[in-house]
Amino acid sequence: MQNDIKLLDCTLRDGGYLNDWEFGKSNIVNIFERLVSAGIDIIETGFIDERRPFDENRTIFPDTASANKIYGRLNKGNSMIVGMIDFGTCSIDNIQPSDECCLDGIRVIFKKQKMYEAIDFCRAVKAKGYKVFAQAVSITSYNDEELSKLIDLVNDLEPYAFSLVDTYGLLHKGQLRHYFDFATAHLKKTIGIGYHAHNNFQLAYANCIELMDDPPTERMLIVDGTLYGMGKSAGNTPIELLVMHMNSYHGTGYHNSQILEAIEVTMLDIKRKVDWGYSFKFFLAASHDCHPNYVNYLMDMGKLSVKSISEILDCLEGEKKLLYDKEYIRELYFKHQKQQCRDSESVNELRASLKGADIVIMGPGKNIYEQRDRVEKYLADNKCTTISINFIPEGYEIDYVFMSNAKRYVQLCSALNEQKEKSKLIATSNITRTLGEFDYTLNYSELLDEDALMPDNPLIMLLKLLKEAGADNIALAGFDGYRETSVSNYINPNMEYSYSSAEADNINTDTVKGIRKLNLKRPPIFITESIYETI
């Protein structure tokens, strides 16, 4: 039997995750017509999602009637035209009979826990005359027993095709062959089999070639791709590479010049505005078999080294790995940070050194340099012990460096080694030293304010330590407060966090509440200007 391999392009659907499906009417038409002219077998036109109103500039529409408004008058040539429904986002009432619609087929994606209801929905779509594609997302979340149950349901449905969707780009060759061969062995031969790859490990194209060059002879194979690889997370398999491979090694006659024209005219401009493709973040998520939002959450904290992030991701368990749960990852974060140590000796030594001392705490705000004259005058007029937080200010003599941020410690490691003859290093127990021991190590958990918006605010942590040590007078320099990200908050742009204006205001208010809650013997003096003074 002749191998039946079909290429499916899903740029207008999967690519839409990056631009909220707002390609613009002219770009939508151009992409569609170029794909038709190239001879792409199946073209996915976008999401059918009843939660979204119709917009001719977007490839997400509330019902099949809206698809007609965009594509109904376009020549689809020999291509099959399909839409996609994420199960649960569109009722069957929004689906016309197929003879009233420009769509030939509908792909239905669904998670494992919804497979029974989703297959019933597929059956209702099929009854309306459409070619139905059953799309099992996160295929790596299925074990063999679960996959066997799903295939039994699919065989009973007899859709046009059943697709293995590697949602987070986790599959390597051996795993891919296992899922693919298992499905091929158990699916009815009348059902096509599809593969949708993501590029977290730079394996999307290689995996597609693996299947195309050794396809099942008894059934149709459908391989997904997108123009220039545009797609969710690390992007998809570039359709232009699939076309090139099929023409070179399988004797097909796709017109790649049309694909390249679409990329040059449309996709390059889109990529200048939104980015996609292989990245460190998506590699890190895939290497831990987890949802990328877990990596986003931990990296956005701005306080963890990659080693610490990896250690936390290693603690993810079972179904939670691929089902993002913000509270779950927050709990794991604090559990990791609360590593305990025997700190009584460090605490006693610091109490002996800091009791009754006048302290100047230096933060990394821009005013530490822009208002240097104020700081130098205060230091000249007062005999002070200086402590910097998570950075080393240039041009100042520092007695102690307080480190509670593992990421900043890694960044400053070399500078801290050079500074060790001049400054003592106080570190919290969530930080691992590269060589030797810290001068003082304190239990991280003992310095937290569990009720605060930012429980591990380093300024509050240090103030709590100084209060317990009996420091008399505390002055602050370089604690400018947080502004929205469009305004620089720090001396070093590498230290910036991403905050909206509202988030920045909340953190400022939370910091002031934290200072007041400590009920210090004397309120801190602000040497340099600070938003905290105005709250």
pLDDT digits (tens, 9 = 90+) for 163-186: 999 999 999 999 999 999 999 999
Tell me which of 53-62, 75-84, 431-440 is least confident: 431-440
Secondary structure element (H or E) that encloses residue 221, with its range: strand 220-225
Two tokens, residue 83: 């839409």
User: Of 289-303, 338-352, 380-394, which range is least confident?
Assistant: 338-352
Whether residue 243 is predicted with pLDDT greater than 90 in this model: the reply is yes
Per-residue pLDDT tens digits for 491-535:
454 544 556 778 888 999 999 999 999 999 899 999 999 999 988
Position 148 scores a pLDDT of 97
User: Could you tell me which CATH class the domain 4-273 is placed in?
Assistant: alpha beta
Query: What pLDDT score was predicted for residue 435?
Result: 67
More confident site: 373 or 493: 373
With a pLDDT cut of 90, the percent of the chain lying above it is: 78
- pLDDT in the model for residue 64: 98
Cβ neighbours of residue 378 closer than 8 Å, sequence gap 6 or more = 360, 384, 475, 477, 527
- pLDDT bucket at 150, cuts 50 / 70 / 90: very high
> For residues 450 and 334, what is the distance between their CA atoms, to the nearest angstrom?
10
pTM of the model as a whole: 0.75
Q: Are 29 and 55 in contact (CB under 8 A)?
A: no
Beta-bridge mates of residue 425: 401
Residue 451: how many CB atoms within 10 A of its CB? 10
Distance from C-alpha of 231 to C-alpha of 14, rounded to nearest angstrom:
5
Average pLDDT, the chain: 92
Statement: residue 210 has pLDDT above 70? yes
Distance between CA atoms of residues 388 and 370, nearest Å? 17
How large is the average pLDDT for residues 95-110?
A: 98
CB 133 within 8 Å of CB 106: yes
Amino acid 488: pLDDT: 54
Q: Note the pLDDT of residue 495.
A: 47
CB atoms within 10 A of CB 22: 14
Provide, rounded to the nearest whole percent, the portion of the chain with pLDDT above 70: 96
Query: What Cα–Cα distance (Å) separates residue 112 from each residue in 102, 118, 142, 187?
Result: 30, 9, 7, 18
β-bridge partners, 440? 426
User: How confident is the model over 451-479, as pLDDT tens digits?
Assistant: 888 889 999 999 999 999 998 899 999 99
With residue 196 as reference, give the H or E element that holds it. Answer: strand 192-196
Q: Report the pLDDT value the prediction gives residue 145, as an integer from 0 to 100.
A: 97
What CA–CA distance (Å, rounded) separates 282 from 280?
6
- Domain positions in the chain: 4-273, 288-337, 344-534
Phi, then psi, of 418 in degrees rounded to 5: -70, -25
- Give residue 223's identity as a one-letter amino acid code: V
**Residues 360 and 379 sit within 8 Å (Cβ to Cβ):** yes
Strand 385-389: give its sheet, edge to edge: 440-442, 424-428, 400-403, 385-389, 358-362, 473-477, 525-526
Determine the straight-line distance between the first and last CA of the chain, rounded to whole angstroms. 77
In which band, very low, low, confident or very high, does the pLDDT at 486 lie, cut at 50, 70 and 90? Answer: very low
Residue 442: pLDDT over 60: yes
Picking from 113-127, 138-152, 268-282, 412-426, which range would have the lowest pLDDT averaged per residue? 412-426
* Residues 489, 485: Cα–Cα separation, whole Å: 8
| Residue 498, pLDDT score | 55
334 or 198, greater pLDDT: 198
- Across residues 269-276, what is the average pLDDT? 93
The pLDDT score that the predictor gives to residue 14 is 97
CA dihedral for 222, 227, 228, 229, sign (positive or negative): negative
Q: What would the two tokens of residue 146 be?
A: 């679960």
Q: What integer pLDDT is reported at residue 499 of this predicted model?
A: 62
504-511 contact pairs (CB < 8 A, 24+): 506/453, 507/453, 507/454, 507/482, 508/481, 508/482, 508/532, 508/535, 509/535, 510/452, 510/453, 510/454, 510/457, 511/454, 511/457, 511/459, 511/460, 511/481
- Average of per-residue pLDDT across 269-290: 93
* Whole-angstrom distance, CA of residue 22 vs CA of residue 424: 55
